[in-house]
């Protein structure tokens, strides 16, 4: 065995200059202010010092950074310095596309300007960065070439026309990313050409042409890698740093020796729950099977290889799948769209044997082929069949006692049945894969604390011993935000829901008509939103103002852009609109909170968490429901003031803020805590928004 030379064994690790340089970049009169003419922000300076120290010492850190702190630069600047000095990679994970785009197009170029502005920082100016998305979003040119060659076996006329459209686009796109192709590609055709296959590899692909292999090459050389939370946990589940060549005991989350920033970290527990659980849909099973062979069209990747017996086995699994999921739809899900499963034996294991037989057939065909792209593709399909069988067995057997299991139906016609599971307590998983990875993990968001305390979030994320700090926003909320609370809107009631909706619609119409700029109205249910929209929407349109609502053909990003462009639109949104929507200026002059954002206590995850808390002797409402609602409330309020010059109105239409003891926590969550009570009798005089 070859030993390490003494001088190598004793060589000190590379020294990070991040703390030293942060002390010269961020203070008043520092390089950020003098060289880039950016204002000094004390909160940003404090955060940058804490982040630099966490990177240097490879320790966890939780930072609540209020709106306007400039948190992106506070972690990117020391992160790039640390990555360059130590030869490591900074992973930045966000929840929303808008923040990813801000980091890529605004913040990272600003870092390059900063590093190019002072001789002492010159060595950092050439840092490399890249945005990484999931494999299925990239076009694989090798799979595209194969699909074109095998078009008769794979596609009918419409599918082939779509394939030609993708091939034409491949000649002009620089990234090969699906979202650039408009209109979006047909999902079945895209499945045949995207990079989410083991056949897309450095062995099988021309790495100079394959879009995914080129993206991977950029990742290998980058100092900064930007991902989203969903992809982060997907890659962790796929092995993370260990899958990239690090040993089981080596430090690293995604890559050996990396270090991580989780921005918009308030969403991490929810995303991790989805990622660490099971999600197996009837549509996904059907598409996997028909990719192999579609009995109706008589096409598929094994049309040439499979014999009549093989084709019959695919038909058998399709039939068993239809019976299995159809049984669940007609029994378990006949009355409700989401139902928790508490006992084994919910359905007969109809899929097990047919799937196993098909899996053996695919393996037999693959074993007859020489090593190469086609064999890799078949082995990938065998692995998917095995994963389906394992997922069904796990769900039927409730195999993981630490998980909660349920079924749900969805899709536009409510015909897609999905088997689901999630960990009841995600904190141990996060502690293992993030905070136990031996590298720095920084979590930051504008909303992490509850009444100024970070303990609840630290416990939920699996980092109870992490250092935590709160840096408040520098914005002048006392001057620029007015808060109104309606005292006479009836609380939600199943017995008298019509009166509550009528009162809500009356107030929403009143508030939106009296604010000249844009209004964002946040709901907690689609039903309430649609009922209020039916009453208020025509009134808004009659005033010559755009009325926008979630749930149509436009995405959240497109709706937010319409609001920015209009300047005086009224936008109705539910769950996803409480966070991540960024509309500065008078285009968003009012946020209306229709109801406090309490999650339904009947959802299987919430129900199982409540049971766990009760078993520990705790109070589910105070420990789970209330903290989550306060954080979401703060996120919704945070949509209003996005820049130093923004001003506007927060209008809360849920009287429980005044009537319930817990209401003070919501008031304390407001950046401007003084408010005016409204009633139908006084609102004409008392409701005075900015003009």
With a cut of 80, say whether residue 9 has pLDDT above it.
Answer: no
Task: pLDDT band for 282, please (50, 70, 90 cuts).
Answer: very high
Mean pLDDT score, 85-95: 96
Both 262 and 347 in one domain: the answer is: no
CB 375, CB 302: distance < 8 Å: no
pLDDT at position 248 is: 57
Q: Which domain holds residue 597?
A: 477-686
What is the radius of gyration, based on Cα positions, of the chain? 27
Give the model confidence (pLDDT) of 552-573 as tens digits.
Answer: 888 888 999 999 999 999 999 9
Both 327 and 179 in one domain: the answer is: no
Q: Which residue has the tokens 């929507």?
A: 581
Mean pLDDT score, 451-467: 93
Q: Give the range among 124-133, 301-310, 671-680 with minimum mean pLDDT.
A: 301-310
pLDDT at position 247 is: 56
Q: Which residue has the tokens 């141990």?
A: 428
Both 465 and 502 in one domain: the answer is: no
Both 179 and 102 in one domain: the answer is: no
In a domain, 691, yes or no: no
pLDDT at position 305 is: 73
- H/E segment holding residue 587: none
Both 317 and 400 in one domain: the answer is: yes
pLDDT at position 240 is: 82
Mean pLDDT across the chain, nearest whole number? 92
* Structure-token pair, residue 59: 């320790």
pLDDT at position 306 is: 67
CB 490, CB 659: distance < 8 Å: no
Give the model confidence (pLDDT) of 133-177 as tens digits.
Answer: 999 999 999 999 989 998 888 888 899 999 999 999 999 999 999
With a cut of 70, say whether residue 222 has pLDDT above it.
Answer: yes
Give the model confidence (pLDDT) of 43-88 as tens digits.
Answer: 999 999 999 999 999 999 999 999 999 999 999 999 999 999 999 9
pTM of the model: 0.90
In a domain, 459, yes or no: yes
Task: pLDDT band for 491, please (50, 70, 90 cuts).
Answer: confident
In a domain, 153, yes or no: yes
pLDDT at position 2 is: 34
Domain end among 182, 214, 246? 214
Mean pLDDT score, 283-299: 91
Q: Give the range among 362-366, 496-500, 517-521 with minimum mean pLDDT.
A: 496-500
In total, how many domains does the chain have?
A: 4
Both 570 and 588 in one domain: the answer is: yes
Alpha-carbon span 454 to 60, nearest angstrom: 14
Return the CATH number at 525: 3.40.50.300
In a domain, 1, yes or no: no
Task: pLDDT band for 244, please (50, 70, 90 cuts).
Answer: low
pLDDT at position 413 is: 86
Helices and strands (H and E) in the chain: how many: 31, 18
Domain end among 454, 471, 488? 471
Both 483 and 587 in one domain: the answer is: yes
Query: SS3 sequence, 146-213?
Result: HHHHCHHHHCCHHHHHHHHHHHHHHCCCCCCEHHHCCCCCCHHHHHCCECCCCCCCCCCCCCCCCHHH
Both 434 and 550 in one domain: the answer is: no
Both 332 and 200 in one domain: the answer is: no
Query: SS3 sequence, 240-304?
Result: HHHHCCCCCCCCCCCCCCCEEEECCHHHHHHHHHHHCCCEEEHHHHHHHHHHHCECCCCECCCCC
Task: pLDDT band for 249, please (50, 70, 90 cuts).
Answer: low
Alpha-carbon span 112 to 35, nearest angstrom: 12
In a domain, 678, yes or no: yes
CB 606, CB 625: distance < 8 Å: yes
In a domain, 626, yes or no: yes
Mean pLDDT score, 375-404: 94
Other C-beta atoms within 10 Å of 499: how many?
12
pLDDT at position 1 is: 27
Alpha-carbon span 441 to 607, nearest angstrom: 30
Q: What are phi and psi of 253, to 5 degrees?
A: -100, -60
Both 450 and 315 in one domain: the answer is: no
With a cut of 60, say whether residue 477 has pLDDT above it.
Answer: yes
pLDDT at position 556 is: 87
Mean pLDDT score, 366-389: 90
Both 76 and 188 in one domain: the answer is: no
Report how far apart, in Å, the C-alpha atoms of 373 and of each of 204, 364, 550 are: 6, 16, 43
Mean pLDDT score, 210-224: 93
In a domain, 534, yes or no: yes
pLDDT at position 4 is: 35
The pLDDT > 90 percentage for the chain reads 78
With a cut of 50, say whether residue 386 has pLDDT above it.
Answer: yes
Q: Which residue has the tokens 């095998």?
A: 150
Task: pLDDT band for 245, please (50, 70, 90 cuts).
Answer: low
Domain end among 214, 240, 262? 214
Alpha-carbon span 236 to 430, nearest angstrom: 10
pLDDT at position 496 is: 65
Give the model confidence (pLDDT) of 641-672 as tens digits.
Answer: 998 899 999 999 999 999 999 999 999 999 99
Both 178 and 61 in one domain: the answer is: no
Length of the chain (residues): 691
With a cut of 80, say whether residue 13 has pLDDT above it.
Answer: no
In a domain, 113, yes or no: yes
pLDDT at position 203 is: 85
């Amino acid at each position: 065995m070859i030993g390490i030379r003494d001088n190598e064994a004793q060589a000190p690790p590379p020294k990070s200059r991040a703390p030293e340089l942060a002390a010269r970049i961020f203070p008043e009169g520092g390089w950020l202010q003098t060289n880039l003419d950016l204002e000094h922000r004390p909160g940003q300076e404090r955060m940058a010092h804490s982040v630099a120290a966490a990177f240097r010492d490879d320790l966890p850190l939780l930072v609540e950074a209020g709106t306007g702190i400039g948190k992106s630069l506070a972690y990117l600047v020391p992160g790039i310095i640390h990555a360059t000095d130590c030869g490591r990679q900074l992973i930045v994970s966000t929840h929303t596309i808008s923040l990813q785009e801000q980091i890529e197009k605004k913040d990272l170029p600003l870092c390059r300007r900063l590093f190019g502005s002072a001789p002492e920082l010159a060595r950092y100016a050439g840092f490399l960065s890249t945005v990484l998305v999931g494999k299925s979003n990239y076009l694989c040119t090798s799979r595209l070439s194969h699909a074109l060659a095998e078009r008769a076996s794979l596609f009918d006329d419409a599918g082939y026309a779509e394939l030609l459209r993708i091939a034409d686009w491949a000649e002009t796109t620089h990234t090969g990313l699906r979202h650039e192709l408009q209109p979006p590609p047909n999902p079945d055709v895209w499945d045949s050409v995207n990079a989410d296959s083991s056949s897309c590899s450095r062995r099988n692909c021309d790495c100079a042409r394959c879009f995914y292999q080129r993206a991977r090459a950029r990742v290998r050389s980058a100092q900064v890698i930007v991902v989203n939370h969903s992809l982060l946990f997907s890659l962790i589940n796929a092995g993370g740093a260990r899958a990239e060549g690090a040993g089981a005991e080596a430090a690293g989350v995604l890559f050996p020796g990396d270090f991580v920033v989780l921005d918009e970290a308030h969403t991490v527990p929810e995303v991790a729950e989805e990622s660490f659980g099971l999600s197996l849909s009837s549509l996904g099973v059907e598409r996997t099977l028909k990719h192999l062979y579609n009995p109706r069209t008589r096409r598929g990747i094994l049309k040439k290889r499979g014999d009549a017996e093989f084709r019959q086995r695919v038909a058998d699994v399709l039939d068993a799948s239809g019976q299995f999921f159809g049984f669940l739809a007609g029994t378990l899900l006949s009355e409700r769209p989401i139902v928790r499963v508490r006992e084994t034996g919910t359905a007969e294991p109809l899929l097990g044997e047919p799937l196993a037989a098909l899996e053996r057939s695919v393996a037999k065909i693959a074993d007859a082929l020489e090593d190469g792209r086609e064999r890799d593709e078949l082995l990938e399909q065998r692995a998917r069949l095995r994963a389906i069988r394992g997922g069904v067995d796990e769900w039927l057997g409730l195999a993981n006692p630490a998980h909660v299991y349920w079924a749900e139906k969805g899709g536009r016609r409510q015909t897609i049945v999905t088997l689901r599971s999630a960990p009841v307590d995600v904190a141990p998983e996060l502690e293992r894969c993030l905070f136990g990875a031996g590298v720095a993990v920084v979590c930051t968001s504008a909303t992490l604390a509850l009444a100024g305390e970070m303990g609840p979030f630290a416990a939920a994320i699996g980092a109870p011993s992490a250092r935590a700090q709160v840096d408040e926003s520098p914005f002048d909320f006392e001057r620029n935000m007015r808060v109104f609370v309606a005292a006479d809107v009836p609380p939600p009631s199943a017995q008298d829901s019509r009166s509550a909706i009528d009162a809500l619609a009356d107030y929403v119409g009143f508030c939106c008509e009296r604010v000249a700029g844009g209004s964002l109205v946040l709901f907690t249910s689609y039903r309430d939103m649609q009922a209020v929209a039916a009453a208020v929407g025509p009134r808004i349109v009659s005033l010559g103002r755009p009325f926008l609502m979630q749930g149509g053909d436009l995405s959240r990003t497109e709706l937010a852009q319409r609001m920015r462009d209009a300047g005086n639109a009224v936008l109705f949104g539910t769950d996803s609109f409480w966070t991540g929507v960024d509309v500065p200026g008078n285009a968003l002059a009012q946020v209306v909170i229709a109801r406090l954002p309490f999650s339904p206590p009947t959802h299987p995850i919430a129900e199982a968490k409540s049971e766990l808390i009760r078993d520990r002797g705790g109070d589910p409402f105070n420990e789970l429901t209330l903290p989550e609602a306060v954080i979401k409330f703060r996120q919704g309020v945070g949509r209003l003031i996005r820049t130093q010059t923004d001003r506007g109105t927060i209008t809360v239409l849920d009287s429980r803020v005044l009537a319930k003891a817990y209401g003070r926590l919501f008031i304390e969550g407001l950046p401007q805590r003084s408010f005016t009570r409204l009633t139908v009798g006084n609102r004409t005089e008392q409701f005075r928004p900015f003009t």
